[in-house]
Chains A and B, each alone.
Chain A
Amino acid sequence: METLPSEFAQALSRIEIDTGPAQAAQTDIRGVLVSNDELRGWGVNTILIGSYARRTGVKPGKDVDVFAKLTNLDVSSEPKTVFDLVRGVIVDHYGHRATPQDRSVKVSFDDGFSADVVPAVRNGARWAIPGKDPKDWFDTEKRWLTTDPERLTQLTTTRNQAPAVSGQGAYIPIVKLMRQIRIHHLGSNRPGGLYIEIATYWAFETTSAFGSSFAEILALTLRKVADQFDTGAVLSDPALGTAYEPALNYGELAVAARIFKGLTDKAERALEADRCEAAKLWQEVLGSNPNGRCFPIPDGCDQYGRAVPVVAAVTSRGPAEARPFA
């Protein structure tokens, strides 16, 4: 079985995002928010949430979610009041770089990077963010939506303890690979990245024998996720214990099932193929990102899955032979 460990390591580094800009953006935004007296009185603090916080994000990774926790407020507060102040402070500071949305404010930074700032108030042991539609803010049932991003981060960390590949937790790398696969094959269509991440979580939760390589684990995960699409079983949000919302509709499930079944077939064929053919199949599965193909061709193979001569690196300084002339 060809599991291409070096190539999978390269693929992971190719989809890895640099968290520096996200941290810098979060720090900058926090500084702006805490400089406001009223927000300070509300106990404002910020954390990164989403895929950046869980370390499951992949390139291009130009969007980050910032959770503005208002630790002294709870769901008895008015969403409009909370949102208006947060929005006002951010817009005042960032000017044209700030774009208010329904319940968050998007702040643009250099190189196309942006941070989405959403205010949150306490809801018991969890948190709540303003309802998706501002019209809902006057509805006692819908004005706040419960969320627990930190819980999902904890679950992710725990889940990443086993299985391991080469001494490193396999779950987070597999989530990244699944997110990359989704981006390439589904693009802007649903299911989104978080859905895939949660589907991957349940795939791991319901598996006992994984294999010892990224290739085996990924193939197995693809099979499980494809089956989940195929059956249309309700996906549960492990952080909240409730059904994941918004759920996929029938059409979205059918399309996703077809695509992921096809990818699973390729992945399982790759496990049976020779090295070069396997690499070609994984290339097709993982697709590409702004930096090109995500899965590298191994030395000794070409892009058609055939074996070619291996180039020997000349590591010594200076030419190894006289300069040729014809």
Chain B
Amino acid sequence: MPEAQTPLPGALDAFVTELIANGFELVPESAGSLWSGPVLPCFQPLTDAERMRVEIRDGWPFLPPYVRVEGLRSAEHYGGHDIVCLWRDNYPGTPWLHWPEVVERAEEWCRRVQRDGFRPGDLAADAFLVFRDGDPMLATFNLSTLCTAFITGKSQRIHAIQDESCCTVDLRPGKGPRGSASARLFFVGELRTAPTNHLELEAALTPQQVERLRRDISRSPGGPEPPIEFVLLCWRNQGVLDAVVLRVTTGREDGPYGLRSLEPAPTDPATLVNRGGPEFRALQRKRVTLFGVGSVGSHVALSLAECGVGRLLLVDGDRLRPGNVVRHLSGRQGTGCHKAVLTATIIRSHVATTEVTWDLRSPFGSRDIWTIIQGSDCVVDCTGVWPAQQLLALVAQDAGIDLVSAALYRQGGVGRVRRQARGDVPILTRGARQGYVQVPEAADPKEEVVEIGCTDPVNTAPPSSALALAGTTVQVVVATLTGFRDHPEDLIAVYRPLPEAPFDEVGIIKCPWS
């Protein structure tokens, strides 16, 4: 075992001194990483082990040490390889810098095991880590489609499709097509500690389930029903559903079969949107029409879908040129295709909950715009084209539909997001009002870049400005859709200082000024 890598060896040495003072000795050949000492008194009622180990890991002191105690009985929060789960790895602090604090935490852990119980927030559904033998593949599944009813003693036929190139195994209901692997789902009701090997698995099953399992495993490979290759074990722990996916291995010397755990990765709709943000469900009912699917708009469109917008209409007649790729959501392979179509395709590969359609026009007719935006909860203008900005603002105002307009200025030095919702000053009247600023044209414009095939000079705003503006735009749109007015009507972000005040400092300018 190599020595733990730490940028702060002084802190580690102080901890090691305390370990030694408390009877710990370095395990030979462990290069300072693994220490053996007398088991703490708090663990004694829970184990027959007389000694315990402390492992210093890479990343000390920002990662907690592993505290390992063999044979803890009836213990939750007791990981694979005898690790006692005292802290999560992502714990923001270093309360383990000194041995007495580790002891105090261990004592609290023991109290919870023996008397107080753990809180639901302490739970981690990582039973696959506890299993003795691991498998490198990822197992995907949607429990709600695999199992119609979670009844204790349930046993259900399922199958697995393996994708070696992606290292995934996808579990699906029923008997699968030729070439798929046979599998079985078991539900065992309430289970406090996950099994770590095949014996503990069988102990968790009902006798009928055990019989089913053994029969499924021992079937002849050449027979009409092949032996199962995977087991999906499901249970509840304090009401929370947990599962482990196991690959069956045969031909072992230590028993009729063995099991290796795969990392489980649910694909049910709720899981797929867990990371979509707190507004996801509310946004599912919303419809957004987005004009301009270029360097800003393409990223806005994807992000709005990922945040949960239920219906998205992309309006843009432009096609992707090779020079666009460096800022656009789409890659080189989309050159020549319509930006709206490319963006919609990418959105569909990311998000299954957004219905995305497109309109391959770049309309300037007010009636056409009116028709397009009907039924929208919000119009998003990412055209970056002045005439389109004016027209969209006017038509949206007339239609009574909220509008958010975003654009970069001064070669990406400034980005502006303007909201026009009920109660806001209409965009077209802001220029004349106090408290609103216009981004001035450069007094000494730099030589512009002209590109063959482009009518207008190329805007050399960097991709970073486009992405920054897209992020802010999405935040304003989401707030607008969910009825919040936390942002100012005009939000101007200075990414690169300009000579002119108030744009001469990096930061945010909020308008109207109060």
List residues of A whose CB falls within 8 A of some B CB: 10, 13-14, 18, 290-293, 296-303, 308-311, 313-324
Contacts and interface: CB of A to CB of B under 8 A. Distances in A.
B28 interface: yes
B33 to A, nearest CB: 10
Contacts of A321: 92-93
B23 A18 contact: yes
Interface in B437-469: none
Contact of B26 (A13, A291, A320): A291
A322 B98 CA distance: 23
A299 B7 CA distance: 11
Contacts of A300: 10
Contacts of B13: 10, 293, 296-297
Given A14-B17, A290-B28, A303 B95 contact: no
Given A291-B16, A292-B26, A311-B97, A299 B92 contact: no
B203 interface: no
The CB with the most chain B CB atoms within 10 A, among A301, A308, A311, is that of: A311
Contact of A14 (B12, B20, B28, B95): B20
The secondary-structure label for the interface of chain A is loop
B95 A315 contact: yes
A314 B8 CA distance: 15
Interface in B89-103: 90-95, 97-98, 101
B32 A292 contact: yes
B97 A13 contact: no
Contacts of A18: 23
Contact of B9 (A302, A322, A323, A324): A302
B170 interface: no
A281 to B, nearest CB: 15
Interface of B: 7-14, 16-17, 20-21, 23, 25-26, 28, 32, 61, 90-95, 97-98, 101
Nearest to A20: B23
Contacts of B23: 18
A311 B8 contact: yes
Contact of A320 (B21, B61, B92): B92
Contacts of A308: 7-8, 10
Contacts of B93: 314, 316, 318-321
Contacts of A297: 9-10, 12-13
B61 A311 contact: yes
Contacts of A314: 93-95, 97
Contacts of B95: 314-317
B17 A313 contact: no
Nearest to B62: A311
A303 B9 contact: yes
Contacts of B9: 297, 301-303
Nearest to B104: A317
A301 B94 contact: no
B14 A296 contact: yes
A318 B17 CA distance: 25
6 closest Cβ contacts across the A-B interface?
Answer: A296-B13, A299-B10, A314-B93, A10-B17, A291-B26, A297-B9
Given A290-B25, A292-B32, A301-B10, A311 B17 contact: no
A13 B17 contact: yes
B7 A296 contact: no
24 contacts: A10-B13, A291-B16, A291-B25, A292-B16, A292-B32, A293-B32, A296-B14, A296-B16, A296-B17, A297-B10, A299-B8, A299-B11, A301-B10, A302-B9, A302-B10, A308-B8, A311-B11, A311-B61, A314-B97, A315-B95, A315-B101, A318-B93, A319-B91, A320-B92
B17 A309 contact: no
A262 B10 CA distance: 26
Contacts of A318: 93
Contacts of B97: 311, 313-314
Contacts of B17: 10, 13-14, 296
Contacts of A324: 90, 92
Contacts of A311: 8, 11, 61, 94, 97
